[in-house]
């Protein structure tokens, strides 16, 4: 029997109500998963009992960092508490060496810091927006989430990404169709050091493409080559001669001899 997204949402509300704690913290990145979760927490126990936490670091674009507070204010009910927690990601050499443990180290550092700040509000329960589809992927950060006792209500309520988007649209959340994203460090080739210079270069290149209408794009530099990923709906426009010429010109002017396009359509 197929369970509707509305039924899963009712289950989600019951789960949150059943936590029994006075207040809850929600780690919110500005993506649709964590936004829906924060909204559901407000719906279940009241906005005044919800603290939304944003981990601010150089791994995120300046646009996201500057706009997150306004986004939370616009998308979530009034009365919610919002805090930014500054994370010095590049201060951890275990992270910047960029090996297979990178995501685990990063997630553990972030959520440990969030827990530390939440104790000031008397909060011991932190919620994360992981959904069921995330469990099918290689995500080392999930191990950190489990080790720290962070709860994943969307998983417990049976939400897949399609359910999240459907319910977000039903509730009128403005980012229901926002493409999935990840931190800028994921664009850097494994074992290549993560530096602020490399992160800002990636951000600049992605801003160029976003300004041309390629929301959800990703740029992966590889010495003299660069790999571009765009949403499936944008592939046809990207390869039109005039558009292709402008993109080639931009990246060649930035020192790349080869500009490759990943034709595998990424999920939203």
Lowest pLDDT segment from 2-6, 40-44, 85-89, 148-152:
2-6
pLDDT at site 254: 97
Bridge partners of 123, per DSSP, are none
What percentage of the chain carries pLDDT values higher than 70? 98
Question: Distance of alpha carbon 37 from its chain centroid, rounded?
Answer: 13
The rounded mean pLDDT for the chain is 94
Contact residues for 225 (Cβ-Cβ < 8 A; gap 6+): 256, 257, 258, 259, 260
Mean pLDDT of 97-107: 96
CA 196 – CA 6 distance, rounded (Å): 43
- The sign one gets for the Cα dihedral 260, 261, 262, 266 is positive
Query: Which of 165, 100, 156 lies closest to 128, judged by CA?
Result: 156
Q: How confident is the model over 172-225, as pLDDT tens digits?
A: 999 999 998 899 999 999 999 999 999 999 999 999 999 999 999 999 999 999
DSSP letter (8 states) at residue 21: -
267 vs 237, residue with greater confidence: 237
Q: What domains, with CATH codes, occur in the chain?
A: 5-171 (3.40.50.620), 195-262 (3.30.300)
pLDDT at site 20: 80
Strands 225-229 and 218-222: antiparallel
Are 53 and 28 contacting, i.e. CB atoms less than 8 angstroms apart?
yes
What pTM was estimated for this model as a whole?
A: 0.94
- The count of C-alpha atoms lying within 13 angstroms of the C-alpha of 54, restricted to the half-sphere facing its C-beta, is 22
């Amino acid at each position: 029997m197929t369970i509707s997204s509305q039924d899963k949402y009712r289950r989600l509300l019951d789960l949150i109500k059943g936590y029994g704690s006075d207040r809850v913290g929600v780690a919110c990145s500005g993506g649709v998963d964590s936004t829906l979760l924060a909204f559901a927490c407000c719906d279940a126990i009241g906005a005044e009992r919800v603290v939304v936490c944003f981990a601010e670091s150089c791994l995120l674009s300046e646009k996201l960092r500057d706009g997150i507070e306004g986004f939370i204010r616009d998308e979530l009910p009034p009365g919610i508490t919002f805090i930014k927690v500054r994370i010095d990601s590049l201060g951890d050499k275990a992270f910047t060496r960029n090996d297979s443990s990178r995501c685990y180290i990063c997630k553990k550092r972030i959520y440990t810091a969030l827990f530390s700040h939440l104790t000031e509000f008397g909060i011991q329960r932190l919620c994360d927006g992981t959904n069921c589809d995330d469990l099918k992927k290689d995500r080392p950060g999930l191990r950190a989430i489990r080790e720290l006792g962070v709860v994943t209500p969307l998983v417990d309520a049976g939400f897949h990404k399609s359910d999240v988007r459907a319910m977000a649209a039903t509730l009128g959340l403005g980012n229901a169709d926002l493409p999935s994203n990840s931190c800028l460090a994921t664009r850097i080739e494994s074992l290549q050091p993560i530096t602020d210079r490399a992160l800002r270069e990636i951000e600049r290149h992605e801003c160029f493409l976003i300004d041309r209408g390629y929301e959800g794009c990703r740029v992966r530099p590889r010495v003299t080559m660069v790999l571009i990923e765009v949403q499936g709906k944008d592939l046809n426009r990207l390869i039109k001669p005039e558009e292709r010429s402008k993109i080639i010109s931009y990246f060649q002017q930035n020192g790349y001899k080869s500009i490759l396009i990943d034709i595998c359509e990424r999920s939203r």
